[in-house]
Structure 1
Amino acid sequence: MTETPETTAMTSADIRVEKGLADPEEVAAITAVLLARAAARPAEAPTHRPRPRAGWRRLEREGGFRAPHSWH
């Protein structure tokens, strides 16, 4: 006899309820949500992420004197 997905029983626990009592419908619902989120995730991450700009400046690259009344 060949088993179809509807008649196949889980032999090992893939999902375990740590606290409380979950009905089979609740376990099926959370499994469906987790599988949908996993399928919606992009296959691969972007290879190049731009670096954030540093919030500080290197003083040796500054022009030197700044007048006290200037903005920069």
Structure 2
Amino acid sequence: MTIKVVRGNPTPEELAAALAVVRARAAVAAALPPGAQGPRDAWSDPARIASAHLPMPGPASWTRTYWPS
């Protein structure tokens, strides 16, 4: 496995941390049986979207369409 730093100047600690993450992900992918899918990322998990409560239709439902931060 070859990793090339294209931009920036990482410290040895930052480079070691990045390499540890890449190697851990590669180890998980190699341990899976052929044809199996790996663990899903939280952002791509459809259950994350389905768990949100959507506003129910009604006379004042337009007031619940804006979620302030």
Shared fold (TM-score, shorter chain, > 0.5): no
From the two aligned structures, give the one with the greater helix fraction.
2
Instruction: Give the TM-score category using the shorter length.
Output: 0.3 to 0.5
Structure-1-length-normalised TM-score: 0.40
TM-score normalised over the length of structure 2: 0.41
